Structure 1
Amino acid sequence: MTQVTDHRGGVWSISVPLPGNPLGHTLVHLLETGRGPVLIDTGWDDPASWDALTAGITACGFAVADIHGVLLTHHHPDHHGLSAAVREASGAWIAMHAADAEVVRRTRQARPAAWRAQLAARLAAAGAPEEHLAPLRTARGGELPGQRAAVPDRHIAPGELLDLPGRRLRAVWTPGHTPGHVCLHLEEAHPGRAPGARGDEVGAGFGRLFSGDHLLPGISPHIGVYEGPDEAPADPLGDYLASLERVARLDPAEVLPAHQHPFTDAAGRARALLAHHEARLGGLVRLLAEPLTLWQLTVAMEWNRPWERIPYASRTIAVAEAEAHLRRLMVLGRAAAVPGSNPVTYRAV
């Protein structure tokens, strides 16, 4: 059965299945506006997910054809996957931050063979062993995740008060999990608070925050790297930590995330994640007492399960996470590449 939660005040969440993922589902939020309902994210592109989304929209009292627009917190396929299907069924506009819209366009234009070759080259430069590179070099055909998702036709600008009649929803740019991740702050009195209580007046603790994957109650979101081959290396972890500080200052009365469950004390959760990453950076400095390649560093890091039990695709994602942390250390002057090493090794300084 489709699980729908009425959060009151014209806000619902729809639990959309996420096949084959331990997270289980994506929470797609529906916001009633003066021009019709707007979705925040859409869920994974899968027939069962589509059925759950459409049944959930019906349970909220609307039809899919009524959807006026879609606001995407970021480009990942468990959030953006069904956007094209929603647009086809309703004619809804699709909005996303420009940085993530560029990733979508790049993904749509990519040839799978070229994409795999580029990834294999990055992993080889990281020192990955041949057994990890071989599947990328021998694979044929296929489709990249997200290639069927819609190309956004609107951009979400940082700080923008979105054009949603009858609502006050402001975009908060929170890069890190992806370069264009946005949270959406519903600047309205919380319907579950008594008059005069926290969440009922403008200021700290006001309103509700649709946090996407930026702030989750029990998970530290993945921080990877997304720039194209011709773009300068970014500092995604530095961006994420700064974004956490921004949300901590905002301190909404309640957070409505895209996974797990709603929660309060956004500032406390942000501080816990800041401490988590500071501890992780300190652990990497200790590991880099001796020179290590990026692959060796990844294998040596602590994950949520032993390295030998991490699936193939997740190992590639882990390398990106390790690279994001390594880049942060280099920006801070706490690590550096060893001159002349090939593949490149790094050590603490």
Structure 2
Amino acid sequence: MAQMTEHGGGVRSIRVPIPDNPLGYTLVYVVDTDRGPVLIDTGWDDPASWDTLAEGLAACGTAAGEIHGVVITHHHPDHHGLSAKVRKASGAWIAMHAADISIVRRARGTEPGRWFAYMTTKLEAAGAPEEHIAPMRTARPRTLPGLAPALPDREIVPGELLALPGRRLRAIWTPGHTPGHVCLHLEEEHPAQLPGHGRLFSGDHLLPGITPHIGLYEDPDDATVTDPLGDYLDSLERVARLDPAEVLPAHQHAFADAPFRVRELLAHHEERLTGLLALLTTPLTPWQLAERMEWNRPWDDIPYGSRNIAVSEAEAHLRRLVKLGRAEAVTGSDPVTYVASEGV
């Protein structure tokens, strides 16, 4: 049975499964337009996911071959994975923010061996132990996923209405989870007349019960010191000011009162930053900090790949603390350790 939900006003969602992932599924939205249906995200590139998407589209009264366009909230494979198959079936255009298009282009052009070498260097600098780094040195190229994601052919311009005939869908740039993440504000009256301003397709930016991963933007050719957590917090406040009547996220379920959820997330991140400062009373590497941070399971139970993600998130929090003047790198440490600033 297809996992399709009717949201009213020419909007439906399909639960497209993510294999072997606790999130379970991506909510792919089907938006009716005067030129045919447009998808917001597509789901993971997997045969079972494709079959579920096809079944869901049939339940919506359409098919992959009838899709007019695909709007991608961000480049991650659980959102962009099936875009190429949709385009092959229908000739649909694919739109994405320029910052994430550049990531897709880089993924398509980067040799796996170079990527593994880069990640090895990053993990060494973060203080990872040799037993964790060793598999990176001998990794086979085919173990690296997402080598050839679909290259989008349209650029989403923040603040502008997308070219969807008969609909008013405005792009809101919300960097943090990725550099080019966008939310999409449907500037139309809510079909159930809920109070607020339209509906917001929030991707992974704003979710009802979990917080998205905020890690570093990895680019072997760019040494820019980014602040993705700061970007995310600023983007949250931008979304709160929209005050949508309803939020349609890419995971979990639709919900109301976006400003309240934003306040919860802002408080959560401030509490977490404060907790990390308590850990930084003694100098720690990013790896050591990640080992001591609170996760959804004990560190010893976190899988190999997820530990890399956790360390990236620890580094993002450290960068935020350093930028705020609440922590600092210890001069001469190698690998670099960080400590809370005096007077904090």
3-state SS of paired residue (2:200): strand
**Which residue, out of 311, 330, 336, partners 2:322?**
330
Q: Secondary structure at the match of 1:298?
A: helix
SS of 1:142's equivalent? helix
Is 1:233 the counterpart of 2:225 in the alignment?
yes
Structure 2 partner of 1:201: none
Distance (Å, rounded) in 2 between the aligned partners of 1:2 and 1:130: 46
CA distance in 2: counterparts of 1:102 and 1:148, whole angstroms: 13
Following superposition, the deviation at residue 143 of structure 1 comes to 5.0
Q: How far off its partner does 1:321 sit?
A: 0.6
Q: Does 1:319 align with 2:311?
A: yes
Identity, in percent, stands at 71
Unaligned stretches of 5+ residues in structure 1? 199-204
Is 1:294 aligned to residue 271 of structure 2? no
Instruction: Tell me, in whole angstroms, the C-alpha distance in 2 between the residues paired with 1:245 and 1:279.
Output: 17
Displacement after TM superposition at 1:114 (Å): 1.1
Equivalent pairs counted in the alignment come to: 340
1:118 pairs with 2:118: yes
Report the equivalent of 1:175: 175
Could you tell me which residue of structure 1 aligns to residue 135 of structure 2?
135
CA contact (8 A) 2:107 2:148 kept: no
State the AA in 1 paired with 2:107: T
Residue pair 1:338, 1:344 contacting (<8 A) in 2 also: yes
What is the RMSD computed on CA atoms of the aligned residues?
0.9
TM-score by length of 2: 0.97
**CA 249–189 in structure 1, closer or farther in 2 if over 3 Å, else same:** same
CA separation in 1, counterparts of 2:220 and 2:24? 33
What's the counterpart of residue 300 of structure 2? 308
| Residue matched to 2:243 | 251
In structure 2, distance between residues paired with 1:36 and 1:288: 55
Structure 1 runs of 4+ aligned residues shifted over 6 Å read none
- Which residue matches 1:89? 89
Q: Supply the distance in 2 between the matched residues of 1:135 and 1:227 (Cα, whole angstroms).
A: 19
Is the contact made by 2:45 and 2:78 (CA closer than 8 Å) also made in structure 1?
A: yes
Q: Which residue of 2 aligns with 1:340?
A: 332
Q: Does 1:216 align with 2:207?
A: yes
Q: Supply the distance in 1 between the matched residues of 2:92 and 2:148 (Cα, whole angstroms).
A: 16
Whether 1:207 aligns to 2:198 is: yes
C-alpha distance in 2, partners of 1:141/1:246? 40
How far the C-alpha of 1:148 sits from its partner, in A, is: 3.0
- Normalised to the residue count of structure 1, the TM-score between the two structures is 0.96
Please say if 1:160 is aligned against 2:151: no
* Matched letter for residue 118 of structure 2: Q
Supply the AA of the counterpart residue of 2:24.
G
- For 1:237 and 1:132, how far apart are their aligned partners in 2? 26
Q: Deviations over 1:41-93 (max 9, x none)?
A: 00000000000011111110112111000000000000000000100000000
Instruction: Report 1:17-96 matches (<5 A).
Output: 17-96=17-96
Q: Give secondary structure in 2 for the equivalent of 1:145.
A: coil
For the Cα contact (< 8 Å) 2:241–2:259, is it kept in 1?
A: yes
